[in-house]
Amino acid sequence: MKTFCGRANPTTGAMEWLEEDENYDYHQEIARSRYADMLHDKDRNTKYYQGIRAAVSRVKERGEKAIVLDIGTGTGLLSMMAASAGADFCYAIEVFKPMANAAVKIVEKNGFRDKIKVINKHSTEVTVGPDGDMQCRANILVTELFDTELIGEGALPTYEHAHKYLVQEGCEAVPHRATVYVQLVESKRMWSWNKLFPVHVEAEDGEKMIVSPSEMENCPGVPSVCDIQLNQMPSSDFTILSDVVTMFSVDFSKPVRSASTYYRVQLEPIKSGKAQIVLSWWDIDMDPSGMISCTMAPYWVKSTSAFQWRDHWMQCVYFLPNEEPVLQGEKVYLTACRDQYSVWYKLEKARGEEENKADVHVESPVCRCQAHLLWNRPRFGELNDQNRTQQYVKSLMKVLKTDSVCLCISDGSLLPVLAHYLGAKQVQYFFLVFRSLRFTLVFLFFKANHLEDKIKIIEARPELLTSSHLEDKKISVLVGEPFFTTSLLPWHNLYFWYARTAVTSHLTSNVTVLPQSASLHMMIVEFQDLWRIRSPCGTCEGFDVQTMDDMINNSLNFRESKEAEPHPLWEYPCKSLSDPQKVLTFDFRKTVPQHCLSTEGSVNLLRKGKSHGAVLWMEYHLAADISVNTGLMQISNEKGNCEWNPHCKQAVYFFSSVIESETLSDLPSAVTYAINFDTKTGEIAMDFKL
């Protein structure tokens, strides 16, 4: 059977529905899932085990049979823990069929067939009674349904339903309770992920400023959480304005209400500053006493000895709707609003308590300016990067002439505005957009900067561009950042090359293309932690989970050639084991060739360590000697620690086997590679031999 999967086509920049093998989706889901990461999370696993043992003992001490309901059993791990701890029977519920099948196999292999019943259903479909899925209601409720935001995976409605229909009153719950903590901070770096700062341009006739549309200034943004590895954020990048406070907690052993609500706390700033960001994380207490606690607190809050790396639970960055000046010691109210699946915050100056309560609006924020829908947080950061802007300014100054006719192809780009300020009055500007959302945003920008009649927005796809769109002019300067919102992997922005090819008949014979070319770079690395998400687990807390390893491996190999995956490497420390190497170049001055671009070679290993994989990134050569790098910024010390562009995701290709060496002499001296850019599909396939 075939199914249709939506995917952006890097040769057209458009979303397409591709016919895929029916197994494609679930293989993707398994291959990219966080199951391996969870199984490697020792801190989580041991605490669940302790909590489950304690809950089973409490029930047994009361002289009752221990009947466990495990919602979202995944590999069956928590049910096996319960059975080992002496539970009489476990109902293990799993909605995702391939996982439910895996759980059945794992449960059998570990000898728990008589104690654990795997039910492939959503918990809200589970029935109780003599003919039901469960014989009776459970008296122990075990779940792990949490994401970084705690409630984003639907924990609240699932608990609400389970308490109503599936468990007994007064049941034991593991975890027993979750508590959400917040801290108010000022951070230019993080605020730059949500608001566009004015862009200063040094033009020949003085300094110019690009301003944001007022719609954007006052826009509350989108309610989707920004989850990051906060432990990678240096303390110099933010200023703490308040102590850590408890925002709200949920007791899982009592009926849970999932309906929208709000929580409010009073804060006394410990420092004056601009309140912009609420940092948030949670902990879960596995037992009522709070002695067994698993916390996501960042490094400045908890002792380093408690540190456990994990990627399935991180920390949250919430943007206040607007920045608010706060004064040390002058109380403010912080309100957390939530619906069933997400949380958002607002801050108010302390007035009378009653007065404040009256105007709590729990509706979730809606982006009014389009920018928060079109640009993600890293894209905001990239546009706010003044150094990067300077590279474009310098190169535009080089290429723009008084009689230039300029066409820009990039998504929601400020390049036309920059170019306008830098170019001579006579320069003609066109800006190609091909989706209405982009049209609205670009138009708002041009209006805010009084450029509506200076830059013409063309709403057409590149291949449908006609000379009448261009007022019968030929383009002498074609520019792009390039950036497209549909790009997932670094080379997907090569869509610029395809668009450039499509508009060739409208270009002058000596057209200047900016960037003139791009290059793909590659380096072999050892990850400090990220390797865990791809590493087999074998046994977990004494249970054989190899079936899961095999299943992930099988899904990774579902495609003949494995695929690289995007990761923002500033969040995932690694060290370089080889020098960076340029592996392919793409000449935008020419059209996309018919044939594939391929390369083979080898890269020397220079440092000892584990070769976990290769990292690949793009560099754009704007003009002679001016480049923008989306990958490795520098290798910061002799140990090989890498610094990555903080606004871009890099491509990571994990090697299927890891080579480890204690000494340089044990190392194979080189890794050989074969890399192929298929110009028909816009995809890059690669193979490495260690």
- Give the residue numbers annotated as catalytic, written as ranges: 144, 153
Count of residues that bind ligand SAH according to CB under 6 A: 19
Strand 226-228 and strand 315-326: the pairing is antiparallel
Nearest-CB residue to ligand SAH?
72
- Residue 73 found at the interface with ligand SAH (CB under 6 A): yes
* Site for ligand SAH contains 220 (CB under 6 A): no
The only residue of 11, 84, 110, 123 in contact with ligand SAH, by rule CB under 6 A: 123
User: What are 21's strand-pairing partners?
Assistant: 2
**Part in contact with ligand SAH (CB under 6 A); list of ranges 9-17, 72-80, 468-476, 636-644:** 72-80
Bridge-based pairing of strands 273-285 and 315-326 is antiparallel
Q: Is 95 in the site for ligand SAH (CB under 6 A)?
A: yes
For ligand SAH, which stretch binds (CB under 6 A), given 90-98, 213-221, 401-409, 619-627? 90-98
Shortest Å, Cβ 70 to ligand SAH: 7
Least distance to ligand SAH, CB of residue 26, Å: 11
- Give the pair of three-digit tokens for residue 310: 């994990």
Rounded to a whole number of angstroms, the minimum distance from the CB of residue 119 to ligand SAH is 8
In the DSSP assignment, the letter for residue 466 is -
Give me 205's structure tokens: 């006739």
Q: Which of 56, 99, 522, 671 binds ligand SAH (CB under 6 A)?
A: 99
Closer to ligand SAH by CB, 73 or 449: give it.
73
Structure tokens that stand for 621 in this block: 């050569």
Query: Among residues 284 and 396, whose Cβ is nearest to ligand SAH?
Result: 284
Q: How far apart are CA 414 and CA 568, in angstroms?
A: 23
User: What's the rounded Cα separation, in Å, for the pair 380 and 371?
Assistant: 9
Give 93 or 396: the residue with its C-beta nearer to ligand SAH. Answer: 93
User: Of 87-95, 214-222, 262-270, 638-646, which segment contacts ligand SAH by CB under 6 A?
Assistant: 87-95
- The answer to whether 78 contacts ligand SAH (rule: CB under 6 A) is yes
Nearer to ligand SAH, 82 or 442 (CB): 82
Taking CB under 6 A as the criterion, the residue among 50, 75, 253, 315 binding ligand SAH is 75
Question: Which of residues 31, 66, 68, 71 is near ligand SAH by CB under 6 A?
Answer: 71
H or E segment to which residue 3 belongs: strand 2-9
Which among 109, 83, 105, 84 has a CA at the least distance from the CA of 94? Answer: 105
Distance CA 470, CA 507 (A): 11
Task: By CB under 6 A, tell whether 410 contacts ligand SAH.
Answer: no
Q: How far is the CB of 553 from ligand SAH (least distance, A)?
A: 18
Of 597, 601, 594, the closest CA to residue 584 belongs to 597
When asked if residue 118 is in the footprint of ligand SAH (CB under 6 A), the reply is: no
Identify the CA nearest to 649 among candidates 519, 488, 439, 531. Answer: 488
Q: How far apart are CA 377 and CA 375, in angstroms?
A: 7
Among 72, 152, 365, 490, binds ligand SAH (CB under 6 A): 72
Nearer to ligand SAH, 171 or 642 (CB): 171
Q: Which stretch binds ligand SAH (CB under 6 A): 71-79, 277-285, 625-633, 658-666?
A: 71-79
How many other CB atoms are found less than 10 A from the CB of residue 525?
28
State in angstroms the smallest separation of the CB of 115 from ligand SAH: 16
Which of 3, 28, 58, 96 touches ligand SAH (CB under 6 A)?
96
According to the binding rule CB under 6 A, does residue 77 interact with ligand SAH? yes
Given a contact cutoff of 8 angstroms between Cβ atoms, the answer to whether 263 and 247 are in contact is: yes
Interaction with ligand SAH in 124-163: which residues (CB under 6 A)? Answer: 144-145, 154, 158
Cβ at position 75, least distance to ligand SAH in Å:
6
Q: How far are the Cα atoms of 168, 175, 177, 462, 624 from residue 254, in angstroms, in the given order?
A: 10, 12, 10, 59, 67
Is 84 a binding residue for ligand SAH by CB under 6 A? The answer is: no
Contact 504, 478 (CB under 8 A): no
What 432-437 contacts at long range (C-beta under 8 Å, 24+ apart), as own/partner pairs, is 432/407, 432/408, 432/458, 432/460, 432/462, 432/465, 432/499, 432/503, 433/457, 433/458, 433/459, 434/13, 434/459, 434/460, 434/461, 434/462, 437/370, 437/373, 437/374
Q: Does 74 bind ligand SAH (CB under 6 A)?
A: yes
Is the Cβ–Cβ distance between 507 and 515 less than 8 Å? no
107 binds ligand SAH (CB under 6 A): no
Whichever of 68 and 603 has its CB closer to ligand SAH, that residue is 68
Q: Which distant-in-sequence residues (6+ apart) come within 8 Å of 217 by Cβ? A: 195
Question: Closest CB to ligand SAH among 144 and 565?
Answer: 144
Stretch that binds ligand SAH, among 19-27, 94-102, 340-348, 612-620 (CB under 6 A): 94-102
CB of 223 to ligand SAH, least distance (A): 21
CA–CA separation, 172 and 558 (whole Å): 42
- Choose, by CB under 6 A, the member of 55, 90, 94, 347 that binds ligand SAH: 94
Q: How far is the CB of 586 from ligand SAH (least distance, A)?
A: 40
Q: Which of 379, 381, 443, 386 is nearest to 199 (CA)?
A: 386
Name the one residue in this structure whose structure tokens are 């590679």. 673
Residue spans of beta strands (DSSP E) within 301-412: 315-326, 332-338, 343-349, 405-409
What own/partner pairs with CB < 8 Å and gap ≥ 24 does 623-631 have? 623/394, 623/395, 623/398, 623/399, 623/514, 623/515, 623/516, 624/398, 626/391, 626/394, 626/395, 626/398, 627/391, 628/388, 628/391, 628/392, 628/481, 628/515, 630/490, 631/490, 631/521, 631/580
Number of other CB atoms surrounding residue 188 within 10 Å = 13
Residue 401 near ligand SAH by CB under 6 A:
no
Q: What residues between 168 and 187 interact with ligand SAH by CB under 6 A?
A: none
What region, left, alpha or beta, does residue 682 occupy, with left being phi > 0 and alpha being psi -120 to 50 degrees? Answer: left
Residue 26 touches ligand SAH, criterion: CB under 6 A:
no
Residue 90 sits in the site that holds ligand SAH (CB under 6 A):
no
Buried b / exposed e across 192-202, counting CB within 10 Å, b at 16+?
A: bbbbbeebebe
* Cβ proximity to ligand SAH, 77 vs 615, nearer residue: 77
Shortest gap between Cβ of 544 and ligand SAH (angstroms)? 14
Query: From the CB of 654, what's the least distance to ligand SAH, in Å?
Result: 21
> Are 286 and 48 within 8 A, CB to CB?
yes
Residue span binding ligand SAH (CB under 6 A) among the ranges 68-76, 130-138, 415-423, 572-580: 68-76
Q: State in angstroms the smallest separation of the CB of 230 from ligand SAH.
A: 22
547 belongs to the binding site for ligand SAH (CB under 6 A): no
In terms of CB distance, is 166 or 597 closer to ligand SAH? Answer: 166
Residues that bind ligand SAH (CB under 6 A): 38, 71-75, 77-78, 93-96, 99, 122-123, 144-145, 154, 158
